[in-house]
């Protein structure tokens, strides 16, 4: 017998967060979240995403044991401002039983129909800074802290239930030795002089903070034309600033500014925390925090998290400045591998940024859609 219950108490939300730990306990590629961080994400009093979104969280039980979970989400900015009458679902995990999947998705349909929406899409979070997509290729590759992992049978469940692929994302990797400075050094010098630009590097979080608001404004401006984009609000900017910026190595944050001190490009790179997170088993204390700090300082694998360029500076070679600065930093740090977070497969411009480094697509993921 399958039953579904809303995770609407602290105890149930903790079970919701901990369910994947059981589901993937014997998997060598799943990377656990920090339990306390996940709980804060779902806290309607702490996460500002709830100022313009509604969400509910559900657990499915089979024969008295937890068998799956799902979040139902409506981003009202997306619905009201973009006219996308969509109900999202995310944080989806399930045993290999399609009846459990059906029972969980019924909650998504109910939420969408109650609000007169037209279709379902997922898995995805509240915004573009959340995780996105069902893994469809690369199940034998290590996951990251910014992506979901899933078993291959998830894809089979959605296909059998009549879902179609809405968007496809690629993740690529390349060894740092593939990065040859001749690809960007000359362009770097020309662009700096032609447009009177300057690269900004940092050695402390305190130096970064005065620029962060402008960075998020640039993030919104540079990504707004993507079909999947929902802008980051001012309240969310403050939240992400406090929660994440101090966590990122300042030397891995690069800005480019013009002669009037306007930010025209930025990039954020993070050390890989995958192995450290696996060792923490979702807990920061008593020793998990130390493992993460060690990875922050010593990891030789880098994850390119975000990159953005003002629309008027796109296709003008500004990214050569960013690559040149990272080349110097990565050489000093002895970096070995570079990884890209999920990128829309049809985003030709972003793909062209990396072509000289001979990247290999090692994972693919998709969001799935179905009409209500």
What are the boundaries of each domain within the chain? 2-172, 174-361
d(CA 213, CA 332): 29
User: What's the pLDDT at 28?
Assistant: 96
Do 2-172 and 174-361 fold alike per CATH? yes
Question: Can you identify the CATH homologous superfamily of domain 2-172?
Answer: Gcn5-related N-acetyltransferase (GNAT) (3.40.630.30)
User: What's the pLDDT at 59?
Assistant: 98
d(CA 126, CA 159): 24
Find out whether 215 and 264 touch, Cβ atoms under 8 Å.
Answer: no
Q: How many angstroms from the chain centroid is the CA of residue 244?
A: 13
**Segment 161-216, tens digit of pLDDT:** 999 999 999 999 999 999 999 989 999 999 999 999 999 999 999 999 999 999 99
Find out whether 214 and 241 touch, Cβ atoms under 8 Å.
Answer: no
**Segment 205-242, tens digit of pLDDT:** 999 999 999 999 998 888 877 766 788 888 888 888 87
**Segment 261-313, tens digit of pLDDT:** 999 999 999 999 999 999 999 998 888 889 999 999 999 999 999 899 999 99
Q: How far is CA 302 from CA 106, 234, 275, 296, 351, in A?
A: 39, 29, 13, 10, 18
Question: Can you identify the CATH homologous superfamily of domain 174-361?
Answer: Gcn5-related N-acetyltransferase (GNAT) (3.40.630.30)
User: What's the pLDDT at 12?
Assistant: 98
**Region of residue 138 (left: phi > 0; alpha: psi -120 to 50; beta: else):** left
d(CA 244, CA 228): 23
**Segment 75-102, tens digit of pLDDT:** 999 999 889 999 999 999 999 999 999 9
d(CA 367, CA 89): 10
**Segment 50-70, tens digit of pLDDT:** 999 999 999 999 999 999 999
């Amino acid at each position: 017998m399958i039953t579904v219950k809303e995770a609407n108490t602290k105890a149930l939300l903790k079970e919701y967060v901990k369910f994947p730990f059981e589901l993937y306990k014997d998997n060598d590629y799943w990377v656990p979240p920090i339990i306390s961080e996940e709980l804060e994400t779902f806290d309607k009093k702490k996460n500002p995403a709830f100022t313009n979104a509604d969400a509910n969280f559900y657990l499915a039980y089979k024969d008295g044991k937890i068998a799956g979970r799902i979040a139902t989400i409506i981003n009202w900015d997306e619905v009201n401002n973009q006219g996308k009458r969509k109900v999202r679902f995310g944080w989806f995990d399930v045993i290999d039983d399609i009846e459990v999947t059906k029972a969980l998705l019924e909650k998504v349909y109910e939420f969408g129909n109650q609000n007169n929406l037209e279709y379902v899409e997922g898995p995805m979070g509240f915004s573009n800074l959340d995780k996105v997509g069902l893994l469809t290729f690369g199940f034998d590759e290590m996951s990251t802290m910014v992506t979901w992992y899933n078993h291959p049978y998830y894809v089979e469940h959605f296909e059998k239930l009549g879902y179609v692929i809405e968007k496809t994302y690629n993740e690529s990797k390349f060894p740092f030795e593939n990065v040859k400075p001749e690809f960007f050094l000359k362009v770097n010098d020309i662009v700096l002089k032609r447009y009177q630009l300057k690269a900004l590097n940092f050695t402390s979080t305190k130096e970064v903070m005065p620029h962060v608001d402008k960075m998020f404004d640039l993030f919104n401006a540079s990504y707004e034309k993507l079909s999947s984009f929902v802008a980051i609000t001012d309240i969310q900017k403050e939240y992400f600033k406090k929660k994440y910026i101090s966590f990122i190595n300042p030397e891995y944050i690069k800005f480019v500014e013009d002669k009037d001190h306007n930010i025209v490009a930025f990039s954020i790179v993070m050390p890989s925390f995958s192995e450290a997170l696996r060792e923490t088993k979702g807990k920061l204390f008593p020793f998990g925090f130390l493992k993460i700090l060690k990875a922050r300082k010593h990891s030789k694998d880098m994850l390119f998290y975000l990159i953005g360029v003002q629309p008027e500076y796109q296709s003008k070679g500004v990214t050569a400045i960013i690559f040149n600065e990272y080349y110097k930093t990565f050489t000093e740090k002895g970096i070995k591998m570079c990884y890209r977070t999920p990128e829309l497969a049809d985003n030709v411009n972003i793909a062209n940024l990396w072509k000289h480094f001979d990247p290999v697509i090692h994972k693919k993921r998709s969001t799935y859609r179905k009409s209500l």
